[in-house]
Structure 1
Amino acid sequence: MSIFQRTSVDAALHIVRDINRNLTQTQNRVSTGLRVEKARDNAAYWAVATTARSDNKAHAAIQDALGIAAATMGTAYTAVAAASDLVSAIKAKLVAATEDGIDKEKIDAEITQLKAQLRTVSESASFNGDNWVVLTDEDNPTRPKQIPASYIRAADGTVSIDTLSYHIDLPSTGVTTSQDARYMVDDRSGGTGEYGALTSDHFATELGASKNYVMILSKGGNTTGQVEIGLTATTSDSEIDEMISIADAVLRQMTSVGSAFGALERRIDLQSEFAKNLSDSYTSGIGRLVDADMEAESTKLTALQTQKQLGLQSLQIANASYDTIRQLFQNI
């Protein structure tokens, strides 16, 4: 004799299986915090979120680059500000040298120390191995100094990196002037120090000075005919006047350089803030697509756990009923 009394058992088993499937899904959402973890969960949302995550990592890299650039720019600005104070001090010493009976050689000793400090300040203005105020043979003064500023994904899916630049505005003729001295020191072996405010003789040339005065000599450039600003016992008042005028012109140019660095530093700060806000927006947008509602999922988890317990009890009751029927026919 056969007994086919499993309808209630099968129904209870089916319910338990459904509950277990939903419970596993809900537990996974609670543990990962995601409602779209794999492409099979929602292919469209998964694709958008995956691309957005990749782009957000690029934005994070841009933020890091901007942080380094801000530190580099801050170092450069600090050096220019310090050097401007030193040039002002040299100018004041030269003015003092015009007094009758002054010991010019003693003043020159002070000027010599100030010039040495100018060199020290310039060469020390390096952050992460990058010095924006000293040009060497590794640098191209006609090529803009560039800072990664933003990661851009176009509508057609192509990507690009936008940059912030600091460069010399060379005239179309390619002939440099004192206005092109956008650095403090130009030590390149292929030049004459013309791109450094402290090493350029353009200031003396443009002022019609009797000598090609420079604040300090370039280490590697062709300095033939150039003379460092300084005093001897026989330095004439007219020569001192020329040096004062040149020091003043150098100071004005360094002020322009400092202003350019300051403006670029401010732009970097603004771009850094924007990049941070943009990254936050990306994170929020990704969350809207794929994140699970933790409050709802937690409530659902509790409900499913209760349903599972009830389902198991129903299955036990169904099995018990089956056993009772089986026992009735056991001795037949």
Structure 2
Amino acid sequence: MTSIMTNAAAMAALQTLRSIDTNLETTQRRVSSGYRVETASDNAGYWSIATTMRSDNAALSTVADALGLGAATVDTAYTALDNVIEVMSSIKAKLVAASEPGVDKNKINEEMKQLKDQLISSAQSASFSGENWLYNTNTNALGTKEVVSSFIRGADGTVQVTTLDFDTEDSVLIDTQDASRGFLTKAIDADALSSAPTGTARDYYLLDVGSATPVTGTEIAIDANTDTATLDDMISVIDDLLGQLTDSAATLGAITSRIQMQDNFVSNLMDVIDKGVGRLVDADMNEESTRLKALQTQQQLGIQALSIANTSAEKLLTLFQN
């Protein structure tokens, strides 16, 4: 039946053209944005996963920044501590030289004073972004320092920030409030270091920085009257301090290595997450460009089909012409 009221062919052609236009619009949007899943309406599941993982990646980026800050702080402390160990070795050598007969011990002591000043300078200079793990001027001990190391999302959706911890008790060289808390300001019993201890304490300390709570004992300093036994005690104390400082430097070195490993891991993890998100939401540009060409062709054919369907009704007019 041919009807002038209802053009079924035109309706079918129009419906097809609308479908093509919708698909063409979607493909053009994908080509323009580069995303196959750009909004939640495209694919709610993939969009949700991608949004969460992008948020986690942003958190990991902050972790990477924190690791960089932590690495700089640790490196600063290690560099200063390494210099302190060198200066301490020089002080030890000066004390050994003072044990030789006929040397001018007063001049050696003057050299030692300069080395002590260098120790103080190194400890004071070991500051990065307001953090100094070697020099304490606070009433309380510096305590444990934390370096952000990772951002973790559990299987149940919970999140957690983990840290690398370092106890500054193992690094403080000078404490202006409590001398006993600093390696270079605390007192060490030379008798306890002796191979044949007498039970009578012989305490020595290296630096007197005027701490609010000083230690008791003898400062490691010499003059013309310093005897061999006293020099031996001082050498033993300096050697013990060198061992403790070496252990502290080794700990800082291990933390530096750990931070570097974690920094590399975080960087790789961020790359992997980016790739994973890309697999979920990125558009395949080869596929989309091919589809775009096909849909443009289909659109042209659809317009032609609609035009043909519309003109077919006009032929009915010829039936009513004389």
Any conservation in 2 of the 1:203–1:250 contact (CA below 8 Å)?
no
**Is 2:149 aligned against 1:149?**
yes
**Is 2:171 aligned against 1:183?**
yes
Per-residue CA deviation, residues 71-126 of structure 1 (Å, 9 max, x unaligned), is 11111111111110000011111111112221112111111111111111111111
Give the one of 224, 234, 237 matched to 1:243: 234
Any conservation in 2 of the 1:184–1:199 contact (CA below 8 Å)?
no
1:146 and 1:263, CA in 2 relative to 1: closer, same or farther beyond 3 A? same
Shift of 1:188: 4.6
Shift of 1:43: 1.9
Shift of 1:331: 6.8
**Is 2:250 aligned against 1:259?**
yes
Any conservation in 1 of the 2:82–2:249 contact (CA below 8 Å)?
yes
SS in 1 for 2:163: strand
SS in 1 for 2:160: strand
Shift of 1:241: 1.6
C-alpha separation in 2, matches of 1:42 and 1:318:
36
Residue segments in structure 2 that go unaligned for 5+ positions in a row: none
C-alpha separation in 1, matches of 2:209 and 2:171:
12
Partner of 2:32: 31
Give the one of 290, 296, 309 matched to 1:299: 290
Give me the CA root mean square deviation: 2.5
**Aligned residue type for 1:259:** A
**Aligned residue type for 2:171:** Y
Any conservation in 1 of the 2:188–2:237 contact (CA below 8 Å)?
no
Give % identity: 44
**Aligned residue type for 2:188:** H
SS in 2 for 1:194: helix
C-alpha separation in 2, matches of 1:195 and 1:306:
82
C-alpha separation in 1, matches of 2:20 and 2:135:
71
SS in 2 for 1:81: helix
SS in 1 for 2:22: helix
C-alpha separation in 1, matches of 2:65 and 2:227:
55
**Is 2:187 aligned against 1:201?**
yes
C-alpha separation in 1, matches of 2:201 and 2:99:
18
Partner of 2:315: 325
More displaced, 32-41 or 242-251?
Answer: 32-41
More displaced, 254-263 or 45-54?
Answer: 45-54
SS in 1 for 2:170: coil
C-alpha separation in 1, matches of 2:252 and 2:215:
31
C-alpha separation in 2, matches of 1:29 and 1:269:
39
**1:105-184 residue pairs with structure 2 within 5 A?**
105-137=106-138, 140-141=141-142, 143-167=143-167, 182-184=170-172
**1:53-92 residue pairs with structure 2 within 5 A?**
53-92=54-93
1:140 and 1:303, CA in 2 relative to 1: closer, same or farther beyond 3 A? farther
**Is 2:97 aligned against 1:96?**
yes
1:75 and 1:329, CA in 2 relative to 1: closer, same or farther beyond 3 A? farther
1:87 and 1:330, CA in 2 relative to 1: closer, same or farther beyond 3 A? farther
**Aligned residue type for 2:185:** T
**Aligned residue type for 1:163:** T
SS in 2 for 1:160: strand
Any conservation in 2 of the 1:186–1:195 contact (CA below 8 Å)?
yes
**Is 2:213 aligned against 1:222?**
yes
Residue segments in structure 1 that go unaligned for 5+ positions in a row: 169-180
C-alpha separation in 2, matches of 1:130 and 1:151:
23
1:138 and 1:157, CA in 2 relative to 1: closer, same or farther beyond 3 A? farther
C-alpha separation in 1, matches of 2:131 and 2:242:
24
Q: TM-score, normalised by structure 1?
A: 0.85
Any conservation in 1 of the 2:123–2:174 contact (CA below 8 Å)?
no
